[in-house]
Amino acid sequence: MNLCPLVLVVFLAAGERSDYSQLMQQARAEYVGGHFVASEKLIVAAIQALQPGEDSLRAAALAELGDVYVSEDELFKAENAYSESLAVYRRLSDRTNTASLLQELGTLYSLQNRYDDALQLLQQALKLTKTLPGSNASLMASALDGLGMTYYRQGKTDKAGRFFNQALRLISASGVKFKTSALLVNLGVVYIEKRKFQEAEDVLKQALKDVEAEVGPQHPDLIFVLTALGVLYTDSGRYAEAEGEYLRALHILELRKPDTDTRIARILHRLSITYAKAGRKGEADGTLEKAAAIARQNLIQHPDMVTIVEHYSSNLRSAGKKKEADELRTEANRARISAGLVIKAHNPF
C-alpha cells in the first residue's frame, strides 16, 4: 500500500504510534522504485515514530535517509544524515556500522571535491574493516571503490584503476552479494580516460545489462552508466550513439522532475558538448542554454553548476553578448566563493 503525504499525516494524527518497520519497508520499496521524495518522507516519519532510547534504529534510518538524499542530489542534507548516524554508531561502539558510515561519508566528501577529508575517512573505514571479525568483503570493496573514485577525481587515473580492480577481485573471490555494476562503471570511466575505448565499452555494456536486469529500463540507477556510455561515444567520435544514450537518460529523468533538475542540467551540458563536436552548433547552443537556465537556479546548493554557467557565459561572449556574459560570470564567481565558505563551515576536522 502506498502512503501518500495526506494519508500519512492522517495516519500519524490518529493517535497511534506508527510502526517503524512498516514505514521503513515502504520507504525501501519507494526507493527501489526510484521514488526518492516519497521514500524520504516515509523515513522521516519512521524516525519520528521512534521512542527515546531506540538509538540503533534511529542510526539505521538516518543512514538510509542519507542514501536517499544522495539520490536526490541533496549532498549537504546527506552529509548531515550520515554524520548524525555515524555519531550514534560510534557512541554505541558498533564497529561494523561505524566502518560503513565512514565509507558513506568519505564517498560523499569525494563527490563534494573534499578530497583530503574523503581519503581520511575512507582509509579509516578500510583500516577498521580489516579488524572486524568474520568476512567483510562487501564493506572493504565499498571502501576501495570510494578510494578509487577519489583518486580518479584527483586525476590519478592509474591509481584509481588499481583500487577498482582490487575491489572487483575481492568480490569475485569472496562470492558475496555486491552491486558490481557501479564498480564496472567506474572502471569504464578509467578506461575512457586512458583511451581504451573497447575495454570501456565492454565493461559499461555489462554494467548496463546488470542494472537493467536488476531495476528495469526506466530507473534512475541507469543514469550513471548511460552517461558514461555517452562520454565514451563522444570521445570516440560516435556522436549519434552518444546522443542516443544522453536522450535516453534525459527521458528517465524528465519523468521525475523537478527532483532531478540538476542531473538534467549535467546531461544537457554533456549533450551540448557532443553536438558541438558533431558540428551541430545550433543544437549545441540551444541545449547549453537550457542547461544553464537550470544551473543558475541551483548554484548555491550545487557548486558544480558553476561550470555550466561559465561555459554558457563564454558562449555568450563569443557571440558578442559581452554584457550578459559578464553578468553570468559575476554570478558564477559569487557562487564559487559561497560554495567555498559552505564547505569550510561543514568541515568537521
Give the whole-angstrom CA distance, residue 38 versus residue 74.
Answer: 15
Domain count, the chain: 1
Quick one: pLDDT band at residue 256, thresholds 50, 70, 90? confident
* Side-chain-facing half-sphere of 79: CA atoms under 13 Å: 20
pLDDT reported for residue 303? 82
Domain that holds residue 53: 1-93
Give the whole-angstrom CA distance, residue 42 versus residue 64.
Answer: 11
CA-to-CA dists, residue 92 to 88, 100, 132, angstroms: 6, 14, 16
pLDDT reported for residue 301? 81
Give the whole-angstrom CA distance, residue 346 versus residue 235.
Answer: 36
pLDDT reported for residue 176? 87
Residue 297 belongs to some domain of the structure: no
How many angstroms separate the first and last alpha carbons of the chain? 44
pLDDT reported for residue 160? 97
pLDDT at 69 exceeding the cut of 50: yes
> For the chain, what percent of residues have pLDDT higher than 70?
92
| Helices marked H in 92-222 | 95-111, 115-130, 137-153, 157-174, 180-193, 197-215
C-alpha torsion sign, points 189, 191, 197, 200 = negative
Give the whole-angstrom CA distance, residue 110 versus residue 103.
Answer: 11
pLDDT at 343 exceeding the cut of 60: no
The overall average pLDDT reported for the chain is 90
pLDDT digits (tens, 9 = 90+) for 199-242: 999 999 999 999 999 989 999 999 999 999 999 999 999 999 99
pLDDT reported for residue 18? 55
pLDDT reported for residue 302? 86
3-state secondary structure of 238: coil
pLDDT reported for residue 336? 81
Residue 18 belongs to some domain of the structure: yes
pLDDT at 147 exceeding the cut of 60: yes
Q: What is the CATH number of the domain that holds 68?
A: 1.25.40.10
Residue 160 belongs to some domain of the structure: no
Give the whole-angstrom CA distance, residue 147 versus residue 138.
Answer: 14
3-state secondary structure of 208: helix
Give the whole-angstrom CA distance, residue 240 versus residue 238.
Answer: 6
Angle formed by the axes of helices 223-235 and 180-193, nearest 10°: 20
Residue 61 belongs to some domain of the structure: yes
Quick one: pLDDT band at residue 335, thresholds 50, 70, 90? confident
pLDDT at 174 exceeding the cut of 60: yes
- For residue 2 the three cell numbers come to 502506498
- The CA-based dihedral angle spanning residues 181, 187, 188, 192, taken in that order and rounded to the nearest 10 degrees: 160
CA-based nearest residue to 79, from 56, 100, 106, 46? 106
Residue 174 belongs to some domain of the structure: no
299 contact partners, CB below 8 Å, separation of at least 6: 305, 306, 309, 331, 332, 335
pLDDT at 3 exceeding the cut of 70: no
pLDDT reported for residue 134? 80
pLDDT digits (tens, 9 = 90+) for 86-122: 999 999 999 999 999 999 999 999 998 899 999 999 9
Per the listing, cell 504510534 goes with 17
- The CA-based dihedral angle spanning residues 31, 32, 34, 39, taken in that order and rounded to the nearest 10 degrees: -10
318 contact partners, CB below 8 Å, separation of at least 6: none
pLDDT at 342 exceeding the cut of 50: no
Residue 79 belongs to some domain of the structure: yes
Mean pLDDT of 273-301: 95
Per the listing, cell 552548433 goes with 281
113 sits in the region (left: phi over 0; alpha: psi -120 to 50; else beta) called left
pLDDT reported for residue 340? 60
Per the listing, cell 539520490 goes with 71
Give the whole-angstrom CA distance, residue 62 versus residue 153.
Answer: 27
Residue 111 belongs to some domain of the structure: no
Q: For the chain, give the longest Cα–Cα distance.
A: 65
pLDDT reported for residue 66? 98
Quick one: pLDDT band at residue 133, thresholds 50, 70, 90? confident
Residue 2 belongs to some domain of the structure: yes
pLDDT reported for residue 155? 95
Give the whole-angstrom CA distance, residue 246 versus residue 254.
Answer: 12
Higher confidence at residue 33 or residue 313?
Answer: 313
